């Protein structure tokens, strides 16, 4: 995955494209073209509102909930995570899961997972998209960085991954900091590639690079499982299905068929017409049905 990602980045640089955070996460979306697709929640599309306690009263604040929605599936389950991307400004001096600055308000949202009110244009967001997640990895961070190649003198771009609540701010936060959108330095307090169990499911705390990130996704170690008993989860899957049907993207028919079969077998479909050919949307759908590889 890292090699594919960098090939795409190199092609963009050759065309005169200036590399920034938006280019990096849209390229991440492209990296999954053979088996995954990205719904970008960046900006106004992913804007949400939530309540914060302010001494004796509650106030409402807004922020972007994530840059990408990622949905992965196997024969037995479907998972999703909301991934917030960050970019190290001095990327060449950073590696793996070192300290970096994050928005206090956004970190509060992704770690406390309150009920939200969607204010953006995305039809994938619903009030309990965070709070209904039984696994911590319902919300996550991915930090882009680059490492200098000592042989060529060039740079290789990469990305780490972390469950949101495995990032700890360097000191306790105050409501005033949430209100003002201040930034604070954060530190990863988990263990890279450590697999933990919760509620009968497994998830990985963090990954150092894109290759480990890909393996974790394919082994259903990232994201919270869809619940048949949650109507919003069912609506999320059916909104994805509808977009798959309505949009015309020619590649990856096997993955479309497997996803369709998965939601049928798990009885997650609503009013689905048999025999309709699916067309891939701008949503990451990771085919994990044939993957047996595990993290080291």
Residues 6+ apart with CB under 8 A from 83: 66, 67, 68, 69, 70, 140, 141, 142, 161
Instruction: Confirm whether 12 is domain-assigned.
Output: yes
Residue 293 belongs to some domain of the structure? no
Rounded CA gap, 103 and 159, in Å? Answer: 18
**Comparison of pLDDT for 34 and 141, the residue scoring more:** 141
Q: What is the pLDDT of residues 250-261, one digit of tens each?
A: 444 455 666 667
Per-residue pLDDT averaged across 57-81, rounded?
89
d(CA 222, CA 17): 31
Q: Rounded mean pLDDT of 122-142?
A: 95
pLDDT at site 173 = 83
- Closest-CA residue to 71 (of 238, 269, 247, 195): 238
On the question of pLDDT at 270 being above 80, the answer is: no
Q: What average pLDDT score do residues 268-276 get?
A: 47
Collapsed DSSP state (helix, strand, coil) of residue 262 = helix
Range of the domain at 74: 2-287
Residue 66 lies in a domain: yes
Identify whether 295 is part of a domain.
no
Average pLDDT over residues 180-208: 93
**What pLDDT does residue 66 have?**
95
Closest CA to 64 of 132, 1, 122, 149: 122
Q: In what order do the strands lie in the sheet with 117-118?
A: 57-64, 47-54, 117-118
Residue 153 — pLDDT band, cuts 50, 70, 90?
Answer: confident
More confident residue, 286 or 49: 49
Across 182-186, 267-271, 278-282, least confident range: 278-282
Q: Please report, for residues 145, 177, 274, the alpha-carbon distance to residue 208 in angstroms, rounded to integers and kept in the order given.
A: 11, 29, 42
257 inside domain: yes
For residue 264, pLDDT over 90 is answered with no
Asked, for residue 206, whether it belongs to a domain, the answer is yes
Q: Report pLDDT for 289.
A: 54
| 16 Ramachandran zone, left/alpha/beta (phi>0; psi -120 to 50) | left
Q: What is the mean pLDDT of the chain?
A: 82
Q: How confident is residue 142, by pLDDT bands cut at 50, 70 and 90? A: very high
Name the pLDDT band for 174 (thresholds 50, 70, 90): confident
d(CA 281, CA 71): 12
103 belongs to a structural domain: yes
pLDDT at 295: 44
Geometric angle at alpha carbon 52, from 48 and 57, rounded to 5°? 135
Spatial neighbors of 123 by CB under 8 A, at least 6 apart, are 239
- CA 236/CA 136 separation, integer angstroms: 19
What pLDDT digit, counting tens, does each position of 96-114 carry?
A: 677 888 999 999 999 999 9
**54-63, 146-155, 157-166: range with highest mean pLDDT:** 157-166
Q: Are the beta carbons of 173 and 239 closer than 8 angstroms? A: no
- Mean predicted confidence (pLDDT) in 66-76: 86
Dihedral of the CA atoms 145, 191, 197, 107 (nearest 10)? Answer: -50
Lowest mean per-residue pLDDT among 65-69, 204-208, 262-266: 262-266
**Domains held by the chain: number:** 1
Report whether pLDDT(266) > 80.
no
pLDDT in tens, 84-97: 999 876 655 566 67
In a domain, 294, yes or no: no
């Amino acid at each position: 995955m890292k090699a594919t990602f960098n090939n795409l980045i190199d092609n963009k640089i050759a065309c005169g494209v200036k590399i920034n955070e938006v280019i990096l996460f849209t390229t991440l979306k492209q990296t999954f073209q053979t088996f995954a697709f990205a719904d970008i929640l960046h900006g106004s599309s992913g804007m949400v509102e939530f309540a914060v306690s302010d001494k004796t009263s509650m106030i409402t604040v807004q922020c972007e909930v994530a840059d990408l929605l990622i949905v992965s599936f196997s024969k037995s389950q479907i998972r999703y995570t909301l991934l917030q991307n960050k970019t190290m400004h001095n990327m060449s001096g950073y590696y793996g899961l070192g300290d970096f600055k994050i928005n206090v308000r956004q970190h509060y949202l992704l770690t406390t997972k309150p009920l939200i009110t969607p204010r953006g244009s995305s039809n994938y967001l619903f009030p309990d998209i965070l709070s209904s997640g039984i696994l911590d990895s319902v919300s996550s961070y991915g930090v882009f960085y680059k490492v200098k190649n000592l042989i060529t003198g060039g740079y290789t771009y990469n990305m780490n991954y972390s469950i949101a609540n495995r990032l700890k701010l360097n000191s306790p936060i105050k409501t005033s900091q949430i209100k003002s959108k201040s930034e604070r330095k954060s530190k990863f307090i988990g263990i890279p590639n450590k697999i933990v169990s919760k509620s009968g499911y497994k998830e990985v705390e963090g990954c150092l690079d894109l290759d480990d990130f890909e393996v974790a996704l394919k082994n259903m170690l990232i994201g919270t499982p869809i619940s048949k008993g949650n109507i919003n989860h069912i609506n999320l899957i059916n909104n994805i299905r509808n977009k798959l049907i309505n949009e015309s993207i020619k590649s990856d028919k096997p993955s479309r068929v497997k996803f369709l079969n998965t939601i049928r077998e798990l009885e997650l479909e609503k009013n689905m017409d048999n025999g309709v050919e699916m067309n891939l949307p701008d949503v990451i759908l990771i085919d994990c049905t044939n993957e047996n590889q595990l993290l080291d």
